[in-house]
A = this chain, B = another copy of it.
Amino acid sequence: MNFRSDLALECREPLRSQPEGLAWSEERRGEIRVSRVQVTSAAAAQAMGKPQGHYVTLDVPPFGESADIFGEALDCAARELAALVPPAGTVLVVGLGNDGITPDALGPRCCAQVLATRHLGGELAKAAGMENLRPVACLAAGVLGRTGMESGEWIAAAVRVLEPVAVITIDALAARRLARLGCTVQLADSGIIPGSGVGNARKAITPEALGRPVISVGVPTVVDAATLAVDLLEQSGAQLPEAVLRRALAPGGAQMMVTPREVDLLIERAAKLLAMAINCALHPGWQPEDFLALV
């Protein structure tokens, strides 16, 4: 039974000492707290259980509490993202995850609201009032079980066609603490390895594998039931035999997740916020409202 978190911030918390090559800072932008974790040595990467790279975490107002996404959270996410993406050239946006599993559907649902522009020729774009838009292509990679191809294979194939200056991925994340659900956004430049969290690592979607920047944007939507339980027991100083825990927490081998009751709403709001942040980051002259009419 292993602890699991996709959030660099949570991986740093339990460390007793700060290894060399691990830097951390925090700032406030209005009501948003921005935390930055930099992992710049192999030792720090091993201590964190995360590859080297920069991880930015935004603590935003709970998605569930307001349907209005056009506020500080959007501005802040767009600005942080823009800082990670080269300022010009084609960008490939990829929605990872499975549209048929609610807590995993963030990627495809976000991707559907990102404005694809690469196919707009000069005349067409002019007619639509969309001149000078940056070329963007979108890919909701589906999941292995449904296409017979890995996400990583699709992305590598699309990269060969498009030759983008950067790849942006969107994915649902697992957190360690329930308090992180529905109010956190993470951006990172280290890439990801799909399925590594659930034990079947596959073709990497990393800067090394793709030969260009890969920016991962994610929102935690679940906590593993086992992670929650072991954490609580540890806090209480108690222990239960692993066999008892397995029986209670993963009966029949099923993977159990903790989510807010309103997880469908959370996913919907988060998908919209991230999509608009990506749209704004990639087309700086535009207002968020402009995209609503087009996607």
Contacts and interface: CB of A to CB of B under 8 A. Distances in A.
B256 A260 contact: yes
A84 interface: no
Interface in A244-277: 244-245, 247-252, 254-265
Contact of A264 (B101, B161, B235, B244): B101
Nearest to A241: B236
A242 interface: no
Contacts of A247: 179
B258 A256 contact: yes
B236 A178 contact: no
A112 interface: yes
Interface string A218-259: 000000010011011101111110001101111110111111
Give the copy number: 4
A257 B256 contact: no
A236 B225 contact: no
Interface in A136-158: 136-140, 142, 144-150, 153-154, 156-158
A104 B255 CA distance: 19
Interface string A73-87: 000000000000000
Given A67-B294, A260-B256, A148 B119 contact: yes
A51 interface: no
A125 to B, nearest CB: 12
A105 to B, nearest CB: 9
Contacts of A292: 67
B148 A153 contact: no
Interface residues of A, number: 77
A68 interface: yes
Nearest to A229: B232
Contact of A179 (B154, B235, B252, B263): B252
Contacts of A250: 178
A148 B118 contact: yes
A207 interface: no
A67 B293 contact: yes
A102 interface: yes
A148 B135 contact: yes
Contacts of A11: none
Contacts of A294: 67
Interface string A103-124: 1100000001000111100000
A142 to B, nearest CB: 8
A131 to B, nearest CB: 16
Given A232-B240, A236-B238, 10 more contacts: A66-B293, A101-B261, A104-B261, A112-B146, A135-B148, A138-B146, A228-B248, A231-B248, A254-B261, A256-B261
